[in-house]
């Protein structure tokens, strides 16, 4: 039976529900137990950096990434319903946590105020241009949390 020409299906409407889910992925898992493996080195450099010596290494960082799709929704009141349009773009938010001394914090703060830094994405093994969304630093125990946002496409 040809679905396109079947008169019994004329006027039939197909409805698809699409759910967008953000997933946080820890940097590494133990293959045996499935537990989170503690920390990895996090690399960041200022936008003006051009050589390998410009990268700042923060050891034993916990890194996670949240990736979401960009979807446009048009709601038509009094019409047939709404339209969901997948724009084909993704956004990634990296959350980095760890411990660093005050001198490293001052270098990071300078990057925060001077433009878009580059980070090394440990999941895809590539360098990406980001913008700081947020920095938290507790000087008494030297704990930091960064939120870095990257547009993938």
What are 89-111's pLDDT values in tens digits? 888 999 999 999 999 999 999 99
Q: What percent of the chain has pLDDT over 70?
A: 69
Q: Which residue has the higher pLDDT, 119 or 72?
A: 119
Mean pLDDT of 18-39: 39
CB atoms within 10 A of CB 128: 16
pTM for this one? Answer: 0.67
Residue 113 to residue 109: CA distance in whole angstroms: 6
Strand partners, 24: 66
Helix (H) or strand (E) holding 148: strand 143-151
Largest CA distance in the chain: 74
């Amino acid at each position: 039976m040809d679905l396109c020409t079947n008169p019994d299906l004329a006027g039939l409407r197909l409805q698809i529900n699409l759910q967008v889910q953000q997933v946080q992925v820890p940097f590494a898992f133990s293959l045996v137990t499935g537990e989170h493996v503690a920390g990895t080195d996090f690399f960041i450099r200022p936008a003006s950096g051009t050589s390998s010596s410009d990268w700042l290494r923060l050891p034993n960082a916990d890194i996670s990434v949240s990736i979401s799709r960009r979807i446009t929704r048009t709601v038509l009141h009094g019409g047939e319903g709404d339209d969901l349009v997948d724009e084909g773009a993704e956004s990634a938010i990296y959350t980095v946590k760890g411990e660093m001394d005050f001198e490293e914090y001052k270098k990071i703060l300078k990057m925060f105020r001077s433009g878009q830094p580059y980070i090394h994405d440990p999941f895809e093994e590539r360098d990406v241009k980001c913008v700081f969304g947020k920095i938290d630093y507790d000087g008494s125990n030297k704990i930091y949390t960064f939120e870095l946002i990257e547009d993938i496409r």
